[in-house]
């Protein structure tokens, strides 16, 4: 562990950087989210050309929503390949790999980085190749493939050093340091972070400097004894410095990391010192985490929030809730190393606060065993050897570059001196010749002088004409400037209009969200259930509806005509009509078919007005179920939407009536009611056609729909699992299926277990 004096000197160095150097550096900027989202709508209408690629790449680089960055980086990659631009495809593949990495999909991340590396090599871009190698090494580190991780990192280091790119050398050092943190080699990690910090300070890279300080803070905070408040204060100072620099550069991802660790750091120090102002600071950091997660759409950090909440429960004395979280999370196999590191800190905090020292020591013993399992001594030895050799290569490369630059400067200086002398000789000689010729001609022939005077007059006349032409051009230029300013005003007006439209759409989306049943209400109705809802646009044409009347539980999944704003309007009308229908029914005689008959009648009445003499034929497809827990039966009716039932390893389909809820003279009969007995072993599924119509790529590379067949096969595999696990498995399968293909329609699916209804 680096001693206190070393830490203090670094703190002073950062203070100097913040107060003296930072004000003269570049300030990070960002584009308004409304402008970026309006660009998303514009891209859909553009032809596949280089202009469309540039817009996609702009979104991939600047949009704050990680899902949108991932989607458009992959789309840009595919378009660049289609246009035969491997140089552009390589850049987009790098961004796609970064997105996969941030989402913890390390295998997919590595594939994209390999593709980027090969494309950079094809076009002769050595720096781009080194970038991809560096990121590929990080992906291998995350997969514990340390041999490949080190190999790729060192290869990147050599290229960056050969090209004299010290900033990128620092990035590779930081990647190696992060891998050492995962292996709990904190002293080795700290040394690499210090190397990176030295290079980033030289280049003035504020964002990377913030990440260096965050890494050192991690090393200090995790390699410290519980009651060592002095070093905990040092770690806190490093975290605060990193947070300040990350805020200056709008590095929201690292702001999230820093606030999570600060929240735990403040919580520990509050309990150890009894200073409850530190507890307030922990809560503020927790709220900042929620803000950045919402801003960047970082759904993957929900479990981090729960771990920090457990620490706050300990602060509040609610030890039962804290232990429930600790016990539950300790059984999870999906936690990342950083999440397990956070969980270990909260567990120790729990035992210290409850004064259960025996359990504390037992936990430390288990952690010691786990550390020995994770620690790979060969990794540390191999890293030291390769790093030593590579550091020598880097020094020689940088020294060689410096010599080349000095030699080049000397040669250029000599050439410049020779050029200056030559210019002076030519100027003096030329002047003498010109003067001699003028004297000779003036003396020889006076008529020549008269001719020169005459030519001078002609030249003056020509100059007058040129002045008039310049005046006309100036007037025309001013007119063009006025027209340009008018075009700019119109452009700003259009941008403002787009922003207003987007704001209204977002408001409409929030309104639509407010009228569908909440997650808490669905859990209250059906304890073991799930809802998967992914609108294509900000608002959706798919909606779900649920209510409880008497002892009956109603639930429906509907797919309105179209999507976006038209579909959303119909969905809100459908929700209102459904509420009106069930408000007047008799619970003792009602069935699903009767509800659909009444729904169609009122829906048609609501849309009976004409537009330019034509009837409105919009409507909706729907699956409706009425659960009767007392009699253990289910009433189902459907308009083009089926009901699937999984029981004892078999998936059964109850077919719907092939007529919509709409004005349709060809189908005016009554809907069919299906009475289905329940014994608590069933899992019920209702869904719109968006999930089965989603396009993706088969192994042969051909694009095709997901289709009901694939969905049935998936549900048979996961039908015995809990609702939440099923939802995650379905989402994961659809995401993997549609990689590189944009969503084609609204997606909605509901699953309900009949075990407890």
Q: How far apart are CA 408 and CA 400, in angstroms?
A: 12
The pLDDT of residue 752 is: 96
> Do residues 195 and 239 touch, judged by C-beta distance below 8 A?
no
The pLDDT of residue 529 is: 95
Provide Rg for the chain, Cα atoms.
Answer: 35
The pLDDT of residue 750 is: 97
Give the per-residue SS3 of 451-486: HHHHHHHHHHHHHHHHHHHHHHHHHHHHHHHHHHHH
Residue 665: what are its φ and ψ, rounded to 5°? -70, -20
Q: Where are the beta strands (DSSP E) in 83-228?
A: none
Task: Specify the long-range contacts of residues 370-379, CB closer than 8 Å, at least 24 apart.
Answer: 371/184, 374/182, 374/183, 374/184, 375/183, 375/184, 375/185, 376/146, 376/183, 379/146, 379/150, 379/183, 379/185
If you average pLDDT over residues 50-79, what whole number do you get? 86
Higher pLDDT: 730 or 58? It is 730
Which fold would CATH assign to domain 46-143?
1.25.40
Torsion, Cα 437 439 441 444, to 10 degrees, reads -140
Closest by CA position to 278, among listed 262, 261, 292? 262
Q: How far apart are CA 62 and CA 64, in angstroms?
A: 6
Report the mean per-residue pLDDT for the chain. 79
Whole-structure pTM value: 0.42
> Do residues 38 and 31 touch, judged by C-beta distance below 8 A?
no
If you average pLDDT over residues 62-73, what whole number do you get? 85
Integer CA distances (angstroms), 549 to 225, 569, 678, in order? 58, 26, 20
Residue-level length of the chain:
757
Instruction: For residue 101, name the pLDDT band (cuts at 50, 70, 90).
Output: confident
If you average pLDDT over residues 264-277, what whole number do you get? 86
Integer CA distances (angstroms), 342 to 261, 329, 349, 497, 640, in order? 8, 11, 11, 46, 49
Which of 289-298, 317-326, 589-598 shows the highest mean pLDDT? 589-598
| pLDDT higher than threshold 60 for residue 373 | no
Question: Pairing mode, if any, of strands 674-677 and 683-687?
Answer: unpaired
pLDDT one-digit tens code per residue, 620-673: 999 999 999 999 999 999 999 999 999 999 999 999 999 989 877 666 789 999
Q: How far apart are CA 673 and CA 678, in angstroms?
A: 16
| pLDDT higher than threshold 60 for residue 613 | no
pLDDT one-digit tens code per residue, 304-313: 889 999 889 9
The pLDDT of residue 20 is: 32
- Neighbouring residues of 219: CB distance < 8 A, sequence distance ≥ 6: 181, 186, 187, 189, 190, 193
Q: Is 542 exposed, middle or buried (0-12, 13-18, 19+ CB in 10 A)?
A: buried
Closest by CA position to 237, among listed 60, 41, 4? 4
The pLDDT of residue 419 is: 58
| Helical residues (DSSP H) of 679-751, grouped into ranges | 707-718, 723-737
Closest by CA position to 99, among listed 43, 143, 137, 60? 60
Which fold would CATH assign to domain 517-753?
Phosphatase 2c; domain 1 (3.60.40)
Instruction: For residue 11, name the pLDDT band (cuts at 50, 70, 90).
Output: very low
Q: How many C-alpha atoms does 53 have within 13 Å on its Cβ side?
A: 21
pLDDT one-digit tens code per residue, 440-466: 655 565 555 565 566 666 666 666 666
Torsion, Cα 701 702 705 711, to 10 degrees, reads -40
Taking 3-state DSSP, the helix, strand and coil percentages for the chain, each rounded to the nearest 5, stand at 70, 10, 20
The pLDDT of residue 500 is: 64
If one counts every other C-beta atom within 10 angstroms of the C-beta of residue 444, the result is 9
> Do residues 735 and 747 touch, judged by C-beta distance below 8 A?
no
What are the residue ranges spanned by the domains of the chain? 46-143, 423-515, 517-753
Closest by CA position to 670, among listed 682, 685, 683, 657? 657
722 CA to centre of own chain = 28
pLDDT one-digit tens code per residue, 692-716: 999 997 767 788 999 999 999 999 9
pLDDT one-digit tens code per residue, 668-696: 789 999 999 999 999 999 999 999 999 99
If you average pLDDT over residues 170-183, what whole number do you get? 78
Q: Looking at the DSSP assignment, which residues form a beta bridge with residue 687? A: 749
Exposure b/e, 661-693, CB count within 10 A at least 16 = b: bbbeeeeeeebebbebebeeebbbbbbbbbbbe
Q: How far apart are CA 356 and CA 276, in angstroms?
A: 22
Q: Is residue 652 within a helix (H) or strand (E), and if so which, with residue range?
A: strand 650-654
Q: How far apart are CA 506 and CA 36, in angstroms?
A: 14
């Amino acid at each position: 562990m680096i001693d206190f004096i070393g830490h203090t000197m670094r703190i002073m160095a950062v203070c100097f950087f913040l107060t003296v150097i930072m004000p003269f550096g570049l300030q990070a900027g960002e584009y308004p989210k409304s402008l970026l989202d309006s660009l998303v709508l514009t891209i859909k209408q553009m032809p596949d050309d280089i202009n469309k690629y540039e817009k996609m790449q702009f979104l991939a680089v600047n949009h704050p929503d990680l899902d949108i960055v991932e989607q458009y980086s992959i789309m840009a990659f595919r378009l660049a390949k289609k246009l035969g631009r491997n140089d552009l495809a390589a850049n987009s593949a790098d961004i796609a790999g970064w997105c996969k990495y941030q989402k913890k999909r390390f295998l997919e991340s590595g594939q994209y980085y390999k593709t980027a590396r090969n494309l950079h090599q094809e076009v002769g871009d050595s720096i781009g190749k080194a970038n991809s190698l560096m990121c590929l090494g990080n992906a291998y580190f995350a997969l514990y493939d340390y041999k490949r991780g080190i190999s790729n990192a060192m290869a990147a280091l050599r290229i960056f050093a050969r090209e004299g790119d010290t900033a990128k050398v620092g990035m590779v050092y930081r990647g190696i340091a992060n891998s050492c943190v995962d292996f709990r080699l904190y002293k080795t990690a700290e040394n690499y972070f210090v190397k990176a910090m030295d290079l980033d300070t030289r280049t003035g890279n504020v964002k990377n400097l913030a990440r260096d300080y965050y890494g050192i803070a991690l090393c200090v905070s995790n390699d410290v004894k519980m009651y060592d408040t002095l070093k905990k204060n040092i770690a806190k100072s490093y975290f605060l410095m990193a947070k300040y620099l990350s805020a200056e550069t709008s590095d929201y991802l690292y702001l999230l990391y820093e606030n999570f660790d600060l929240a735990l750091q403040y919580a520990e120090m509050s309990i150890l010192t009894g200073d409850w102002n530190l507890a307030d600071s922990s809560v503020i950091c927790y709220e900042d985490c929620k803000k950045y997660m919402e801003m960047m759409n970082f759904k993957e950090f929900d479990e981090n929030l729960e771990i920090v909440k457990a620490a706050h429960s300990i602060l509040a004395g609610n030890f039962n809730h804290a232990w429930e979280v600790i016990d539950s999370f300790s059984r999870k196999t999906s936690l990342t190393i950083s999440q397990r590191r956070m969980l270990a800190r909260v567990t120790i905090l729990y035992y210290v606060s409850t004064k259960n020292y025996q359990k504390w020591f037992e936990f430390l013993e288990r952690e010691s065993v786990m550390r020995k399992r994770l620690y790979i001594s060969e990794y540390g030895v191999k890293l030291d050897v390769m790093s030593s050799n590579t550091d020598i290569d880097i020094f020689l490369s940088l020294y060689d570059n410096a010599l080349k630059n000095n030699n080049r400067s000397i040669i250029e200086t000599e050439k410049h001196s020779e050029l200056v002398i030559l210019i002076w000789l030519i100027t003096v000689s030329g002047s003498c010749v010109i003067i001699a010729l003028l004297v000779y001609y003036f003396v020889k022939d006076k008529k020549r002088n008269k001719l020169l005077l005459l030519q001078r007059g002609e030249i003056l006349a020509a100059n007058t004409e040129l002045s008039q032409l310049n005046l006309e051009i100036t007037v025309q230029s001013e007119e063009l400037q006025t027209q340009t300013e008018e075009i700019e005003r119109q452009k700003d007006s259009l941008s403002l209009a787009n922003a207003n439209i987007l704001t209204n759409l977002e408001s409409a989306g929030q309104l639509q969200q407010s009228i569908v049943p909440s997650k808490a209400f669905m859990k209250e109705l059906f304890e073991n259930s799930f809802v998967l809802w992914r609108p294509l646009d900000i608002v959706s044409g798919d909606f779900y509806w649920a209510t409880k009347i008497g002892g009956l539980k109603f639930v429906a999944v509907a797919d309105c005509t179209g999507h976006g704003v038209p579909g959303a309007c119909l969905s809100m009308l459908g929700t209102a009509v459904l509420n009106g229908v069930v408000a007047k029914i008799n619970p003792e005689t009602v069935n699903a078919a009767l509800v659909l008959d009444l729904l169609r009648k009122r829906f048609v009445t609501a849309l009976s007005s004409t537009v330019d003499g034509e009837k409105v034929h919009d409507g909706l497809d729907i699956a409706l179920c009425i659960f009767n827990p007392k009699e253990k039966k289910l009433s189902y009716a459907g308009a083009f939407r089926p009901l699937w039932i999984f029981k004892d390893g078999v998936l059964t389909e109850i077919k719907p009536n092939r007529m919509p809820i709409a004005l349709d003279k060809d189908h005016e009969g009554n809907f069919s009611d299906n009475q289905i007995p329940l014994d608590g072993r069933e899992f019920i599924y209702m869904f719109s056609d968006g999930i089965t119509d989603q396009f993706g790529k088969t192994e042969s590379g051909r694009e095709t729909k997901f289709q009901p067949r694939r969905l049935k096969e998936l549900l048979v595999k996961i039908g015995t699992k809990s609702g939440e696990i099923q939802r995650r498995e379905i989402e994961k399968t659809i995401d993997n299926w549609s990689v590189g293909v944009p969503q084609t329609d609204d997606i909605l699916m509901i699953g309900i277990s009949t075990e407890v209804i």
